[in-house]
Amino acid sequence: MPYIDAGESRIYYESHGEGPPVLFAHGVGGNHASWHKQVPDFVKDYRVILFDHRAFGNSSDVEEAGQSRYVEDMLCLLDALEIDRVILVGQSMGGGTCANFTCAHPERVEKLVIADSLIGIDAPEPLATMVRETLDRVWNLSQAERVLGPVMRDDDPASTLLYLQIASFNAVTIRTLKGSMPRWTPDRLAATGVPTLFLVGEHDVLFPPENVRMAQAMVAGASFALIEGAGHSAYFERPLAFNRHVRAFLSAGEG
């Protein structure tokens, strides 16, 4: 299996296909396997890169640095693969990694998709309070209730089970996650000039559409897309719609 060294730890990755590189960054409930509904679609036109954040999937975290090293790990991965510029697609926790990476290394990012995430945002009021109160309110929900919308939970128990099984291969959960995610601000993200899409599921209970739309409005030039019928894991629950919106954003301005 392919790995890169990141300090004392090893970061697992996969590279599929050829073309402009697109790196997918998973959330707390996922790992590289979570993107199985994106790879067959995007590999037709892009080089699809998957990886496991440290302590997730096949990656280790010897230093127990967790979130504190995510941006550095991403830079190590891109350097090892000799990728100068990349398209970033980050879901939930991965959205925080990608937003922070973009703020730190804007010259390395072609476009940015922040999916179902305001992780790491240092937002002005009233959004800061809205984000904090929403996360506090859903803290005691079950994992399935947090990350999947009612449509999938009620109508597709097999996929619900698969989601939880994929998550079971991680060494940490939302309650045992190490380190702390760096903070980013809407102004700083806007200043990078990197085209950005905020995408969110209609029934996302962690980052409701109204919160995400408010954040998107603070990032000059950013776009917004709503995935109907999906919860927090729109990429998994409504992959056709998710892929269509991401593809449209990536192709905007081409030709």
Q: State the pLDDT at residue 204.
A: 98
Average pLDDT, the chain: 97
Q: What percent of the chain has pLDDT over 90?
A: 98
Residues 90-120 pLDDT 10s? 999 999 999 999 999 999 999 999 999 999 9
Indicate the pTM of the whole model: 0.97
pLDDT of residue 254 exceeding 70, the answer is no
Q: What is the mean pLDDT of residues 49-53?
A: 98
Residues forming beta bridges with residue 3, ordered by sequence position: 12
Q: Which amino acid is at 195?
A: P
Q: How confident is the model at residue 56 (pLDDT cuts 50, 70, 90)?
A: very high
Task: Indicate the number of domains in the chain.
Answer: 1
- Which residues lie closer than 8 Å to 40 by C-beta, 6 or more apart? none
Strands 86-91 and 223-227: unpaired
Angle (CA) 3 59 157, round 5°: 120
d(CA 37, CA 107): 29
Phi and psi, residue 178, nearest 5°: -90, 160
pLDDT surpasses 70 at 255: no
CA–CA separation, 54 and 168 (whole Å): 15
Residue 80 contacts residue 73 (beta carbons within 8 Å): no
Three-state SS letters, 128-168: HHHHHHHHHHHCCCCHHHHHCCHHHHHHCHHHHHHHHHHHC
Instruction: Specify the CATH number for the domain of residue 165.
Output: 3.40.50.1820
In this structure, the number of other CB atoms found within 10 A of the CB of residue 202 comes to 17
User: What is the C-alpha separation between 85 and 212, in angstroms, rounded?
Assistant: 26
Task: Give me the domain span that covers residue 243.
Answer: 3-251
Q: What are phi and psi of 198, to 5 degrees?
A: -95, 120
**pLDDT, tens digit, for every residue of 176-208?**
999 999 999 999 999 999 999 999 999 999 999
With 90 as the cut, is the pLDDT of residue 252 above it? no
What integer pLDDT is reported at residue 210 of this predicted model? 98
Residue 82 has pLDDT above 60, yes or no: yes
Q: What distances in angstroms separate CA 171 from CA 90, 100, 144, 175, one per listed residue?
A: 20, 23, 18, 11
